[in-house]
Amino acid sequence: MSWGLEGPVSTHVPVLRIGDVLLVTLQGELHDKAAEQLQQDIGEAVAGSSAGAVVIDVSGVEIVDSFLGRVFAEIAANAKLLAAATVVAGMRPAVAITLVELGLTLPGLRTALDVQEALRMLAPPSSPLSPGQGRQENA
Amino acid sequence: MTDQSTANRGTSTRIISDFLQRRREQIAQRWADEALFRTVFTVSRDEAAEAAGSLVEALASVALSGRIEDLRAPGFTGVREQLTRMAGSRARGGAAPSQIADEVAALRPSITDLLITDLAGSDGEASGPHVITLTVLMGTLRLFVMETALSAGEEIIDRQRVQLLEVATPVIKLWSGIVAVPLIGTLDSARSQVVMESLLEAIVDQQAKFAILDITGVPTVDSLVAQHLMKTVAAARLMGAECIVSGIRPAIAQTIVHLGIDLGSVITRASLADALAYALHQEGAVIVDRATGAGGPR
């Protein structure tokens, strides 16, 4: 698993697995090609690992266009088909306004203020060790 | 030829300047009865005559400098404050700029008559060129008054616009994780944008899970305002916060239904208090009455 972008022209976005959750952190400008690649990667990762949830952290994304907005919606729809819940976390105000102005309100998508909130949201309420505490023990 | 006309004009402006200074009192007395001075200086006629006199002096000094078409002539700066005050007072009284301009134009006939009789008395020279010079000077004065009147109005408008935007969009933190925007007055697209942006910024800053839009102070809701509300709610939801609209009055509720706007996906509460109670309940906070030990409203 790679931990960062390999170079400025890389189209690869890292998909991290934390317990039952796949964490995808998007940084900076996301090109169309990278977005398409990401969509594929997530689909494969969900199918391959039978992860229960996908958290997409978009707090590092300052600008979106209609294409990226559609990709968000499609990722969520794909993950749903594969029986994984998708949560988009940490969207910037400017990005939210842009998406709304574009008419992409993403009605089926769950959202959270930040990654911590998203993990808490996905954790079962009775679990004593929720991933929200930032610690995951593997017995 | 050009030199001669310039020289003629120089002579003419000197004659006008001389005339204005000599007849200062007479002109001032005549102008004090004109609408422009009469309406501004309602209390004392002497004050009006004095103001008119200083205006005549300023015109004389402009004529003496020969820059009769120049709005930036040093002679005008002395009376700028006085003219600003007069134009401002007329504008506040509800006079349109064109009306003020007409009142300034009304000063001209009396002074022109005086000039013609003055010149006819002193020497047989043709008075035509001098009358034209005076007319040009009065035209410049009219332009100057217009400019000061308009800039005074613009200053007020600019200041009020800034004030309006400042008071229009306070984002209040009601509880940890709960912010509210009480909207007051008519919303237009510029204000809507500011409201939306400041609310979303506050959601990030305060890590707010709940945002309350209180529209108690909004007199009417049309399709544009409703659309804006929907947009704000959708944007807040995208960021991971829940948006509650409160304070919809019966008439507005009726309008929204008549317009066929679907607010179905938006959480609404009757008042800001109800919205806060809902948000607290969702957060898991309970307000308990100390006397009875019973929980507050849901």
Of B80, B87, B18, B22, which Cα lies nearest the Cα of B55?
B80
CA atoms within 13 A on the CB side of A30: 29
In a domain, A99, yes or no: yes
Task: Please give the average per-residue pLDDT across B116-141, as a whole number.
Answer: 74
Q: Are the C-beta atoms of residues B62 and B68 closer than 8 Å to each other?
A: yes
In a domain, A57, yes or no: yes
Q: pLDDT at position B37, please?
A: 76
Q: pLDDT at position A132, please?
A: 41
Q: What's the whole-number average pLDDT of chain B?
A: 80
**pLDDT band, very low/low/confident/very high, at B203 (cuts 50, 70, 90):** very high
Q: How far apart are CA A53 and CA A58, in angstroms?
A: 16
Find chain A residues with C-beta within 8 A of B265's C-beta. Answer: 107
Furthest CA-CA distance within chain B: 106
Q: pLDDT at position B297, please?
A: 52
CA A22, distance to chain mean position in Å, is 8
In a domain, A139, yes or no: no
Question: Closest approach of chain A CAs to the CA of B281, in angstroms?
Answer: 17
Q: pLDDT at position A137, please?
A: 39
Cβ–Cβ below 8 Å for B234 and A100: yes
CA B97, distance to chain mean position in Å, is 13
> Is the complex ipTM more than 0.85?
no
Share of chain B above pLDDT 70, in %: 92
Question: Closest approach of chain B CAs to the CA of A97, in angstroms?
Answer: 6
Domain count, chain A: 1
In a domain, A128, yes or no: no
Q: Are the C-beta atoms of residues A15 and A45 closer than 8 Å to each other?
A: yes
Task: Please give the average per-residue pLDDT across A33-60, as a whole number.
Answer: 84
CATH of B3-162, one of 1.20.58, 1.10.8, 1.10.10, 1.10.490: 1.10.490
| Domain assignment of residue A63, given as a range | 2-122
Q: pLDDT at position A51, please?
A: 80
Q: pLDDT at position A1, please?
A: 45
Report field, pTM of the whole predicted structure over 0.90: no
Cβ–Cβ below 8 Å for A114 and B234: no
Q: How far apart are CA A57 and CA A112, in angstroms?
A: 9
User: Where do we find the tokens 């931990």?
Assistant: A3
Q: What are phi and psi of B161, to 5 degrees?
A: -65, -45
- Per domain, the residue ranges of chain B are 3-162, 172-283
Find chain A residues with C-beta within 8 A of B236's C-beta. Answer: 96
SS3 content of chain B, % helix, strand, coil (to 5): 65, 10, 25
Bigger pLDDT: B238 or A69? B238
Radius of gyration of chain B (CA): 32
Q: Are the C-beta atoms of residues B75 and B59 closer than 8 Å to each other?
A: yes
In a domain, A132, yes or no: no
Q: Which of B19-23, B70-74, B198-202, B286-290 has the lowest mean pLDDT?
A: B70-74
The CATH number of the domain holding residue A15 is 3.30.750.24
SS3 content of chain A, % helix, strand, coil (to 5): 40, 20, 40
Q: pLDDT at position B52, please?
A: 76
Question: Closest approach of chain A CAs to the CA of B201, in angstroms?
Answer: 6
CATH match of B172-283 with 3.30.750.24: yes
